[in-house]
Amino acid sequence: MKYMLLMMTTDIGQPPITEWEPADVRAHIEFMAKFTQDLVSSGELVDGQGLALPDEARIVTARDGGPATVTDGPFPESKEFLAGYWIVDVDGLDRALEIAAEASASPGPGGIRLNHPIEVRQVMDAPPVGDV
């Protein structure tokens, strides 16, 4: 079963990573690299991407009788935006939740866990094979 793990940045009462101590930044980078590498080694990672920060993001909406509108956003000030995702292929929901819990516990300033929320969603499957 495939699950998508969405890493949302929400206001968890921490300054942005660019304002952390160098050692904390380094610990966070190492944690993330190892986390992804472990999923590759266990044969569970399907895909994982980090998204560029939303400074240059746009929202496009089609319009009747005219060209689509393009607006800036979501703004980094809005505090909640998608930072990245992983798609994992695992035995079941329990394992997906376990992986998400690990990602949520990435180290923040002073080595304290960030505990940021990870949204876990099942990826739609092919129709079942067999009796019709």
Partner 1 sequence: MTEPRIEDLLRELAPQVLGALMRRYDDFAAAEDAVQEALIAAATQWPADGLPDYPRGWLIQVASRRMLDQLRNEQARRRREDQVAAVSSEPVPVDDVDDTLVVLFMCCHPALKPAAAIALTLRAVGGLSTAEIASAFLIPEATMAQRISRAKARIKASGLPFRMPTEAERPARLAAVLHVLYLIFNEGHTATSGTSLNRVELSSEAIRLTRAVHALLPEVGEVAGLLALMLLTDARRPARTGPDGTLVPLSEQDRSRWDAGAIAEGTALITATLPRGTTGPYQILAAINAVHDEAARAEDTDWPQILALYGVLDHLSDNPMVALNHAIATAMVHGPAAGLALLDKLDADRRMAATHRLDATRAHLLELAGDAEPAVAHYRRAAARTTSIPERNYLTLRAATLAANHR
CB of 18 to partner 1, least distance (A): 4
Distance CA 26, CA 5 (A): 23
Where along the sequence are the contacts to partner 1 (CB under 8 A)?
17-22, 24-26, 29-30, 33, 36, 40, 45, 47-50, 52-53, 55-56, 76
Q: Tell me how many helices (H) and strands (E) the chain has.
A: 2, 6
Count how many Cα atoms sit within 13 Å of the Cα of residue 50 in the half-sphere of its side chain: 6
| Sign of torsion over alpha carbons 85, 2, 100, 118 | positive
CB of 1 to partner 1, least distance (A): 19
Distance, C-alpha 38 to centroid of its chain: 16
If the CB atoms of residues 11 and 56 are measured against partner 1, the closer one turns out to be: 56
If the CB atoms of residues 38 and 119 are measured against partner 1, the closer one turns out to be: 38
If the CB atoms of residues 36 and 104 are measured against partner 1, the closer one turns out to be: 36
CB of 32 to partner 1, least distance (A): 9
